[in-house]
Amino acid sequence: MKQKIKWQQGFEPGFAVKLMRAIAKVILGTLRINGKSRWSNEFVQVIDSSVTVPIPEFENIVPSAELWFRTGHGRLYWRATETPGLTPLTNKWIASFSKSDVFYDVGANIGLFSLMAAKFVGAKVVAIEIDLMNTRMLYENIFMNNCQENVVILPVGLDSSTHQERLFLKSLSYGDALHNLRTVNPLIRTPKAMSINVPVYRLDDLIPGLGLPAPTKIKIDVDGVELEILRGAINSLKTVSGLVVEYKPNSVERELIHDLLIDCGFGFEFDSEAEHLDGCVDGFFSRRHELRW
C-alpha cells in the first residue's frame, strides 16, 4: 500500500481568512475595484502593502533590528511576519557572522536570510534564487532595506553540472516555493505541471565565471536538489567554514549529504527541530566544530 504523504503544499484558509476574503470581495465589487479600469488601478496603487518586522536575534548587534518587506497577498505577508520566527537557529547562526564573511544564500526566496546577513552584520551576500517572481520581491526588499551595496542577486539555479534544465513550478505567485528541477515536487497538491527552461550552474563554474568572491558561509534550501548542488560545489566548499543545508531526517539524501561534507572536511554539529512544514530539518555543519554561539 502506498504510504500517504502527511503534508502537501497547499494553503487551506481557516474561517477567519475566508471571512476576510468574502468581505473584501463585497467591498471591491461595490467600488468596482477589479483592476480593469484606471480608477481601480489608482486605488490599488495607493495601498501601502509593506511591513516592518522585528528580528530579535539581532537586537544585541543593531538596536531595534527590523526588516522591511513588500507584501501584497497572504503568502507574502506570512513569509514576512511569521517565517522569521520559524528559524531561530538559522537566525542565530547568521548573527554569529562577521563583516568579513561572504554568505551564499542558495534558495533566497524573498530575501529573509540575505537581508539579515547584509543589513545587521554587514556581510557580503550572494543571493541565488531561481524563481523570477521571487527575485522581483527580493530586488525591492534589498533596496528598501538599503542593502544594495552588500548583495548580488543571481536569478539562476544551481545543480551538479552547468546546463539548461526544466524547472517545474508550483504556481506563478510571489513568495512561492517547492519549485523543482527535472520533475514535479511530490509534495505539491494537485500539481499543474507548469514548467520552463532555465539555466543552472555548478557553483564551481559560476564563481570563477563571474568573478564572485569565495564563500565563507553557505545556506542551501532548494526543496530537493541540495545534494546535487553540493556535488557541483566541491572546490567552492574549500573556503567555507560553516554551512546549513535542508534535508529530510532519516532519509538517504541526509546520509549522502553527511558523507559528502565529512569528506570535504566538515564536522556535523546538529539537526534543527522539524521547523519546516514538510518535516524537513536544517543540518548545521562547520569545520573543526567551529560552531560556537
- Please report whether residue 52 resides in a domain: no
Select the more confidently predicted residue: 125 or 33. 125
Per residue in 178-215, pLDDT (tens digit) is 677 777 766 665 556 678 888 999 999 999 999 999 99
Cβ contacts of 210 within 8 Å, gap of 6 or more: 154
Q: Check whether residue 102 and residue 219 sit in a common domain.
A: yes
Write down the pLDDT at residue 190.
56
- pLDDT per residue as tens digits for the range 225-250: 999 999 999 999 999 999 999 998 98
Average of per-residue pLDDT across 131-144: 92
pLDDT beyond 60 at 223: yes
Q: Residues 93, 36: one domain? A: no
Q: Are residues 110 and 227 in the same domain?
A: yes
Q: Would residue 53 count as lying in a domain?
A: no
User: In this predicted model, which residue has the larger pLDDT, 177 or 293?
Assistant: 177
Domain of residue 26: give its range.
Answer: 10-47
Residue 61 located in a structural domain: no
Res 7: pLDDT:
41
Closest CA to 204 of 234, 228, 225: 234
Domain identity same for 133 and 265 = yes
Give the domain CATH number at 168.
Answer: 3.40.50.150
Same domain, 153 and 210: yes
The answer to whether residues 124 and 27 belong to one domain is: no
- Report yes or no: 234 and 283 within 8 Å, Cβ to Cβ: no
- Joined together, the cell numbers standing for residue 279 give 518535516
pTM above 0.75, yes or no: yes
pLDDT for res 195: 81
Determine the pLDDT at residue 135: 92
> Is 100 a member of any domain?
yes
Instruction: Identify whether residues 39 and 177 lie together within a single domain.
Output: no
Q: Please tell me the total count of domains within the chain.
A: 2
Looking at residues 156-173, what average pLDDT do you find?
A: 86
Higher-scoring residue by pLDDT: 39, 257: 257
Please tell me whether residues 151 and 243 are part of one structural domain.
Answer: yes
Residue type (1 letter), 44:
V
Under the banding of pLDDT at 50, 70 and 90, the label for residue 276 is: low
150: pLDDT confidence band, cut at 50, 70 and 90?
A: very high
pLDDT at 211: 97
Q: How far apart are CA 246 and CA 44, in angstroms?
A: 38
Let me know if residue 4 belongs to a domain: no
Same domain, 205 and 96: yes
93 lies in the same domain as 28 = no
Same domain, 32 and 94: no
Q: Which three cell numbers stand for residue 220?
A: 542551501
Q: Is 78 contained in some domain?
A: no
Residue 282 is assigned to a structural domain of this protein: yes
Is the residue at 228 inside a domain? yes
Q: How far apart are CA 125 and CA 79, in angstroms?
A: 20
Same domain membership, residue 40 and residue 118: no
> Which amino acid, residue 19?
L
